[in-house]
Amino acid sequence: MGTEELWSLKAPRIVVEPPGPKVREILEAAGLPPSAYRHPLAAEAGGIWIRDPDGNIFLDFISSRCVVNIGHRHPRVMEALRRQMDRVTHGWVEERHKLDRELARITPGRFEKRVYYALTGSAANDCALKLARWATGRPYVIAFAGAFHGMTYGALSLSSYKTWMIRGFGPNLPGVYHMPYPNCYRCPFGLEHPDCDLRCLHYIEDYAFKSYLPPDEVAAVFIEPIAGDAGWIVPPDGYLQGLKELCERYGILLVAEEVQTGFGRTGRWFACEHWGVEPDIIILGKALGGGVPLSAVVARAELHERDGEYFRHGHTFNAFPLGCAAALANIEVIEEEGLIERAERLGAYLMNRLRDMMERHCSIGDVRGKGLLIGVEIVGDKASKRPDVEAADRICAEAFKRGLYIIRMGSYGTGVLRVAPPLVITREQLDEALRILDESVGAVEI
Ligand SMILES: Cc1ncc(COP(=O)(O)O)c(C=O)c1O
């Protein structure tokens, strides 16, 4: 199938119940049971589609975990890669500096910035953690319960997605304190917004700072402006602004972890812009390279120097030429195709349709998000909000059988469907995805 044909497909195509014979053979050779087939094995991908070796074509409703915001193998990125491959694939190239300027331009904050590169979101988190401690000379760091920041030791220590991230690996990096994330559907304080007066925010100052955590020794607060794997939890208005003010009061750096929420996904370049907050450091990954591995830390330039010394950090494949070329093309595509506005517009439509589904289905307890990043929380009982992870898994399996690739996530024992299609999805394709999702939820509720 040609790339153009694949891009313009209107509905998934299931020619044999997955896993088909070719995938079964591959699974068997890899020592995996057929039941392991819950993610499409890609023989070819283009736009919102992934074709597996048996010819089944799946709609990638999660953008392969928020990586392909502009679609799989966008022609502009492919062209930029080819041009770069013909010239230089390793070494110091001008594109790196172009990308520095582009990232400084599109990230919030009109101050001088410095960019550090890595290849993964985890490594970028580690870099930001080192930078925050080094630049402030302070040892402690605040992160949030339920957060997923990655698998390297620094990122792991900032995380608290699930206990398997900690068990057997400890002790993790000392000095990281996890605060309750603002979660209005499952308020950690059992309160209702706005009567709660943002207790979750005041907890930091009123309890942590007055008992176990001296604020003048806190280097940074690491926060996902919309919690990711925890279940796409959107903080109430005022929380992020309040957190920024708190940081300013105590000279603490605010680090926006936008590995998952960046690059137009939420209807803004970066999610923190929804609340007009300018972080001191912003962490980027996933969609940055348009499908090519690249991550970055964009920080206030002044953090780079302390007492005549410079912050030391780097990797062998730092800012590698293919990644930089792809990231530059990615930014162009997002701007020229108006994908941020599109995410906002289609996101509003998607949100309405999903909220309508929530009215009709007893297993959908909550629908929340911004732009084309929406969490659909599956519950066993709406009144008690009892989570139902097993039902969430079964919905994903039903959807997969029908050619819709969706997965579940969620901290605190919850099962949340992760709705995050590529921003290039059309309204028609979105309708088809929703039809399948509706049918899959219905099939599990029977
Ligand atoms: C918010 C967030 N930060 C960091 C990471 C880690 O990125 P990587 O897997 O590229 O190391 C992830 C990965 O899912 C993530 O969702």
Residue 1 has pLDDT above 90, yes or no: no
> What tokens were used for 72?
């799989």
* SS3 assignment, position 192: coil
> What tokens were used for 418?
């992760």
Ligand 1: centre distance to CA 121 (Å):
5
**Residue 225, in any domain of the structure:** yes
Residues 40 and 17 in one domain: yes
Residues 9 and 99 in one domain: no
Residues 168 and 305 in one domain: yes
Residue 121 has pLDDT above 90, yes or no: yes
Ligand 1: centre distance to CA 225 (Å):
14
Predicted confidence (pLDDT) per residue in 394-443, tens digit: 999 999 999 999 999 999 999 999 999 999 999 999 999 999 999 999 99
Question: Could you tell me if the CB of 220 is within 6 A of ligand 1?
Answer: no
Question: Could you tell me if the CB of 126 is within 6 A of ligand 1?
Answer: no
- Closest residue by CA, ligand 1 atom 13: 150
Predicted confidence (pLDDT) per residue in 300-321, tens digit: 999 999 999 999 998 999 899 9
Ligand 1: centre distance to CA 288 (Å):
12
Residues 292 and 430 in one domain: no
Q: Which of 336, 354, 373 is the last residue of a domain?
A: 336
Q: Are 115 and 103 in contact (CB under 8 A)?
A: yes
Predicted confidence (pLDDT) per residue in 10-68, tens digit: 999 999 999 999 999 999 999 999 999 999 999 999 999 999 999 999 999 999 999 99
**Residue 69, in any domain of the structure:** no
Q: What's the Cα-to-Cα distance from 304 to each of 79, 99, 155, 292, rounded to whole Å?
A: 35, 18, 21, 27
Ligand 1: centre distance to CA 240 (Å):
21
Which amino acid belongs to residue 195?
D
Q: Which of 336, 360, 395 is the last residue of a domain?
A: 336
**Residue 68, in any domain of the structure:** no
- 3-state SS track over 158-174: HCCCCHHHCCCCCCCCC
Predicted confidence (pLDDT) per residue in 123-182, tens digit: 999 999 999 999 999 999 999 999 999 999 999 999 999 998 889 999 999 999 999 999
Ligand 1: centre distance to CA 307 (Å):
33
Q: Are 333 and 74 in contact (CB under 8 A)?
A: yes
CA distance 226 to 246: 18
Question: Could you tell me if the CB of 289 is within 6 A of ligand 1?
Answer: no
**Residue 67, in any domain of the structure:** no
* Cβ atoms within 10 Å, residue 105: 11
Question: Could you tell me if the CB of 422 is within 6 A of ligand 1?
Answer: no
Residues 325 and 428 in one domain: no
Question: Could you tell me if the CB of 64 is within 6 A of ligand 1?
Answer: no
Per-residue confidence (pLDDT) for residue 446, from 0 to 100: 84
- Name the average pLDDT for the chain: 97
DSSP one-letter string for 12-39? -B-SSPSS-HHHHHHHHHTT--GGG--S
Per-residue confidence (pLDDT) for residue 45, from 0 to 100: 97
Q: Are 230 and 368 in contact (CB under 8 A)?
A: no
Question: Could you tell me if the CB of 84 is within 6 A of ligand 1?
Answer: no
Residue 295 CA: which ligand 1 atom is closest? 10
Predicted confidence (pLDDT) per residue in 328-387, tens digit: 999 999 999 999 999 999 999 999 999 999 999 999 999 999 999 999 999 999 999 999
- Closest residue by CA, ligand 1 atom 7: 121
> 282: domain range?
75-336
Residues 299 and 215 in one domain: yes
**Residue 65, in any domain of the structure:** no
Residue 2 has pLDDT above 90, yes or no: no
- Closest residue by CA, ligand 1 atom 16: 260
Q: Are 237 and 259 in contact (CB under 8 A)?
A: no
Per-residue confidence (pLDDT) for residue 426, from 0 to 100: 97
CA distance 189 to 67: 34
Residue 258 CA: which ligand 1 atom is closest? 1
Residues 206 and 346 in one domain: no
Which of 63, 148, 159 to probe ligand 1 with, by most ligand atoms within 8 A of CB?
A: 148
**Residue 2, in any domain of the structure:** yes
Residues 356 and 369 in one domain: yes
Question: Could you tell me if the CB of 228 is within 6 A of ligand 1?
Answer: yes
Ligand 1: centre distance to CA 25 (Å):
31
CATH number at residue 418: 3.90.1150.10
Question: Could you tell me if the CB of 377 is within 6 A of ligand 1?
Answer: no
**Residue 201, in any domain of the structure:** yes
Residues 260 and 141 in one domain: yes
CA distance 33 to 46: 27
Q: Which of 17-49 are b and which e, b meaning 16 or more Cβ less than 10 Å from the residue's Cβ?
A: ebbbebbbebbeeeeeeeeebebbbebbbbbbb
Residues 293 and 400 in one domain: no
Q: Which of 336, 363, 394 is the last residue of a domain?
A: 336
Question: Could you tell me if the CB of 293 is within 6 A of ligand 1?
Answer: no
**Residue 227, in any domain of the structure:** yes
Omega prior to 194 cis, within 30 of 0: yes
Number of domains in the chain: 3
Ligand 1: centre distance to CA 284 (Å):
9
**Residue 214 pLDDT level (bands cut at 50, 70, 90):** very high
Ligand 1: centre distance to CA 69 (Å):
15
Per-residue confidence (pLDDT) for residue 318, from 0 to 100: 86
